[in-house]
Every structure is written in C-alpha cells, then in structure tokens.
C-alpha cells in the first residue's frame, strides 16, 4: 500500500510505496534528542520507495553505532522526518510520527535499550537489543 506523510507545517510531503521492513523503538541517545526524551518510533523502508516533495534540512553526525548518519527535518517547523545511515545505503528510516496515518504500524523491536533511562518500560513482547542489531 502507499502511505503518505509530511512535517507538521506541510512544507515537506512524502510518499512511501512499500511496506516497512521493520518497525523499531530506538532508545539511542540521539533519538532521545529528536523524540523529546522518549524512544523514537521508526520504520525502516527501502530508500527507492520514498519520494519527497520539498527540500528538508539535514544534519550529519556519527551515531552510537559508529556509522555516519544524516537526519532530515523541516527547516520551518522542525519536524524530524528521516534518517539515513552510510552503513545501510539501500534503506532509510522514517519517523512514524510524520505519517498521515500510521494504522497497522506497531513496533516489533526495541533497540539501544542500554541507553534507555531507568524509568523506561521495555515491552517484554518485543525483540530487544542493547545496541544496534546486526
């Protein structure tokens, strides 16, 4: 199915023409910045299935995994939309909060649990990884 999404202000829109390869909660320290202290909810999707209307701003850094990462966001409203890793060029990550309709999308995996705060609830039903899964 085709899903659509975009930033809060509407300056950026995108279309996703594939089912997510994975849906993951991420507690890495970087995601705690983007997700306001919580875990980020991310889908991993084939990069070729995403088309973007508008030009996001982006910020590059080295992630806890050691990979160079590019995070893309709206320069107007600040909504985080995408992340891309040098170590996985065929796929990219979309922030689930930016989907118009996230019905049917639920996490199956939680990663970087070692960076989660003491109060975090790690759902025992999810496959959990202390760091980056292989």
Stretch that binds Zn ion, among 45-53, 69-77, 95-103, 114-122 (CB under 5 A): 69-77
Which residue has 């983007």 as its token pair? Answer: 34
Query: Which tokens belong to 41?
Result: 């909810």
Q: Provide φ and ψ at 123, rounded to 5°.
A: -60, 120
Pick from 21, 48, 77, 114 the residue near Zn ion by CB under 5 A. Answer: 77
- Rounded-to-integer distance, Cα 50 and Cα 118, Å: 36
CA 54 vs CA 4, 115, 126, 132, 134: distances in Å: 14, 34, 35, 31, 33
Asked if 9 touches Zn ion (CB under 5 A), the answer is yes
Among 28, 50, 92, 99, binds Zn ion (CB under 5 A): 28
Q: CA 71 from chain center: how many Å? A: 9
Among 41, 74, 94, 96, binds Zn ion (CB under 5 A): 74
Is 76 a binder of Zn ion (CB under 5 A)? yes
Nearer to Zn ion, 1 or 122 (CB): 122
Site for Zn ion in 85-114 (CB under 5 A): none
Backbone φ and ψ for 40, nearest 5 degrees, come out as -80, 150
Least CB distance to Zn ion at residue 19 (A): 21
Q: Would you count residue 39 as binding Zn ion (CB under 5 A)?
A: no
Where on the chain is the footprint of Zn ion (CB under 5 A)?
A: 7, 9, 11, 26, 28, 31, 74, 76-77
């Amino acid at each position: 199915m085709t899903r659509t999404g975009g930033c809060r202000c509407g300056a950026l829109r995108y279309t996703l023409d594939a089912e997510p390869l994975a849906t993951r909660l991420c507690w890495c320290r970087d995601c705690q910045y983007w997700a306001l202290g919580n875990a980020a909810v991310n889908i991993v999707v084939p990069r070729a299935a995403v088309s973007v209307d508008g030009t996001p701003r982006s910020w590059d850094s080295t992630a806890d995994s050691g990979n160079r990462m590019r995070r893309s966001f709206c320069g107007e409203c600040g909504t985080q939309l995408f992340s891309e890793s040098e170590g996985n060029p065929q796929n990219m990550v979309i922030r689930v909060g930016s989907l118009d309709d996230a019905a049917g999308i639920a996490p199956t995996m939680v990663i970087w649990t070692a960076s989660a705060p003491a109060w975090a609830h790690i759902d025992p039903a999810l496959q959990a990884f202390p760091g980056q899964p292989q």
